[in-house]
Structure 1
Amino acid sequence: MELMNKVMTLLFLLLCCSISTKGALYKNPKLPIRVRVSDLIKRMTLAEKIGQMSQIERLNATDDVVY
């Protein structure tokens, strides 16, 4: 039963990846979050990934902290 669930999940993900969309998979709201995030991360540069990880909360972003 567990093997069947894994096989079905794999088939579902493969199907989702093969769906033709206009543009990137991460823009398709019909796809599962996991597929969309994976596609987006593959497209991001290292600088973009670092930028996402080093963001601070807007409330803490005063002139003293930012500059």
Structure 2
Amino acid sequence: MAILSQRVFMILVICCCATFAECMTMKYKDPTQPLRIRINDLMLRMTLEEKIGQMTQIDKSAATPDVMKNYFIGELQGVY
């Protein structure tokens, strides 16, 4: 049982280290990076669907939580 606990602990440590390393490489979240570097990093991480969704405007009457989540909608019309 002790060997199993040690293995589980080691797996958790490895996962935590990998997650931390990934967060440290997210240049788009680092305000000390130049703007063009941050933009390029974010654009490389976004899928085509996310990019299209951010350029899409829909009317607020069609903005259900599912639509906003599933289509990555960037802006609502008629909010003002």
Provide the alpha-carbon RMSD of the alignment.
2.0
Structure 2 gaps, min length 5: 1-22, 64-80
1:50 aligns with 2:43: no
Bigger fraction of residues in strand = 2
Higher relative contact order (CA 8 A, sep 6+): 2
Per the normalisation by structure 2, the TM-score is 0.45
Instruction: Tell me the TM-score normalized by structure 1.
Output: 0.52
Identity of matched residues, %:
49
> How many residues are treated as equivalent by the alignment?
41
**Cα offset, 1:51, TM superposition:** 0.3
Deviation above 6 Å: which 4+ runs of structure 1? Answer: none
Equivalent residue in structure 2 for 1:22, among 21, 24, 28:
24
